Structure formats: C-alpha cells, structure tokens
C-alpha cells in the first residue's frame, strides 16, 4: 500500500482536502495517509523527508506528497525526498505573483482566518447562534438569522446548519416540521413573519425510514408508512406556503450547503 503525506506549515487541512479531491479521481486505489501539520522550520522539514523516504522503503512504492509549505527554505528538503511531490505553492504562487505584480509574503499559517480577526468573531457568533437555535429550541432573535431551515425530523437540518455556521459564518436556525404542524396545516408558530428566510429540506421516504430505524427501530416514527406520510405532508406544506426547498436524499452536507447558498444567494463569509 502506498503512503500519501499531507504536509503544511499550518493545520494541513487544506493540503488534505485538496489531496483527497485529487486521489478520489483514481478508482480502486487504497492508500495510507499521514497528515503532518505545523512544519515551519527546516529542521522539521528534514525530519519529514526522513519519514517520507522511510515510508517509500517500507511500502516498496514511491510516496505521494501533497504540500502547502510557503517558505522555500522550509520546503526545499522535502523536494529532495524520493516521492511524487505535488507542491501547491510552487505551482501557483509564481504565476499569481506575475499577474498581481507583487511578491507574496510567503508567511506561514495563513490558510485560515486569524483567531483575533473581525471575520473570526463573526464566525464564532454564527456558531453560537446556530447552537442556540437548533431544532426549534428558541424563537428569540430569529430576526438575526440568515436562514431558517425547516423539514421533518432527520432530514439533515442540524448537520447542514452547523456546516453553514462553521464553514461560512452563516447564522442558521432550524425548525422541525412535526405531525402537529401537518394537522394544523400551517407553519410552526412564529415562523410566518420570517418567511423570506425559510428554506425547506426534504428527503425520500425510503431513505428517511432507514435513518430513523437506526435510532428507534420498530417504532411508528421510523416506519415506512409514517415516513411517507410525513414527507408528503411536509412537501405539501412547503409548496402551499411557497417555500424554496431541496431534497437531501443523496447529497452530502457540503452539497446541501452549496446548493442552498446558490439558491438563496447568501454567501456572506467564508473561511
């Protein structure tokens, strides 16, 4: 098995994200992965090189190195390793410098917003807001929400809300649609006045029953009949109230979030 290294002077999360994206293009490849963050001195880079070469000898096959090291003095030793080196900085910083007409600062650890920045404070605010408005627990301050997700239990509202807050600094409240709402035939109390912030999530009934069975096997709540009824009622409600919505059945959290942002043209922050 081949080893893939994600090496960075910061957290290594960008290197890893990109590396996964590239490697996912090769079917049937299995590999061992090592993320090595915070490589910000030449000494640490030399130790990395040793680990890379060791892995190559052990595996009997050249390691792949995905790196985002900005300081050439730090990345140089890693260039000497016996590996396929995919160096994002070397490949892209030089053309950017030429186009922008300025030299990059080559400062380490810039990939994420600084913990003391204004943007970062907004992001933490969004996380706090989203946590305080999960699953309809509070109606307070809903006027400050950027978006209010609605949908039946277990259709993906909570993970999507959290992702919107963490990744984009968006204040996302979420409200469950429950049988009582369907019987009354209207939106949960208080949401009416925030209609322009509402966004619906729905899901195929057979997928919903699978998810619910894992939590409450053999319950009426999880039964296919009940899931079908709830989904049908929820979609009817959303259509009648003219609320934008999408089906999460085969979508990852990232895909739901990106689709939602594209639909409602909400993209204030990103990190």
Cα gap 33→44, rounded to integer Å: 19
CB burial class (10 A; 0-12, 13-18, 19+) of residue 244?
Answer: exposed
Cα gap 112→14, rounded to integer Å: 9
Considering only 102, 118, 143, 217, the residue that binds its own copies (CB under 8 A) is 102
Binding of its own copies at residue 242 (CB under 8 A)? no
Site track 23-42 with its own copies (rule: CB under 8 A), x = hit: xxxxx-x---x-x-xx----
Binding of its own copies at residue 60 (CB under 8 A)? no
Q: Of 176 and 237, which CB lies nearer to its own copies in the complex structure?
A: 176
Query: By CB under 8 A, which span of 11-19, 50-58, 144-152, 221-229 interacts with its own copies?
Result: 11-19
Binding of its own copies at residue 64 (CB under 8 A)? yes
233 CB-near residues (< 8 Å, 6+ apart): 177, 179, 182
Residues paired with residue 198 on neighbouring β-strands, in sequence order: 148
Binding of its own copies at residue 162 (CB under 8 A)? yes
Binding of its own copies at residue 113 (CB under 8 A)? yes
Beta-strand (E) ranges in the chain? 2-8, 31-36, 64-68, 84-87, 147-151, 172-176, 198-202, 245-247
Query: By CB under 8 A, which span of 39-47, 85-93, 141-149, 236-244 interacts with its own copies?
Result: 85-93
Q: Of 36 and 237, which CB lies nearer to its own copies in the complex structure?
A: 36
């Amino acid at each position: 098995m081949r080893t893939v290294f994600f090496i960075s002077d910061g957290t290594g999360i960008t290197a890893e994200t990109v590396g996964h994206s590239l490697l996912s293009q090769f079917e049937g490849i299995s590999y061992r992965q090592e993320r090595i963050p915070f490589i910000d001195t030449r000494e640490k880079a030399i130790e990395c090189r040793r680990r890379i070469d060791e892995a190559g000898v052990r595996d009997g096959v050249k390691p792949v190195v995905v790196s985002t090291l900005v300081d050439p003095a730090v990345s140089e030793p890693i260039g000497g390793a016996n590996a396929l080196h995919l160096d994002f900085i070397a490949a892209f910083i030089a053309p950017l410098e030429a186009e922008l007409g300025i030299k990059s600062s080559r400062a380490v650890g810039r990939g994420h917003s600084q913990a003391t920045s204004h943007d970062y404070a907004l992001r933490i605010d969004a996380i706090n807001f989203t946590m305080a408005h999960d699953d309809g627990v509070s109606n307070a301050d809903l006027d400050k929400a950027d978006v209010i997700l609605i949908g039946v239990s277990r259709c993906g509202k909570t993970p999507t809300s959290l992702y919107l807050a963490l990744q984009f600094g968006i204040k996302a409240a979420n409200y469950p649609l429950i049988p009582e709402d369907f019987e009354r035939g209207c939106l949960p109390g208080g949401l009416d006045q925030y209609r322009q912030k509402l966004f619906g999530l729905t899901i195929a009934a057979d997928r919903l029953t699978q998810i619910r069975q894992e939590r409450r096997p053999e319950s009426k709540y999880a039964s296919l009949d009940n899931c079908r009824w709830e989904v049908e009622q929820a979609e009817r409600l959303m259509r009648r109230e003219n609320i934008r919505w999408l089906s999460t059945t085969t979508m990852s959290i990232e895909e739901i979030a990106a689709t939602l942002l594209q639909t409602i043209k909400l993209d204030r922050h990103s990190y």
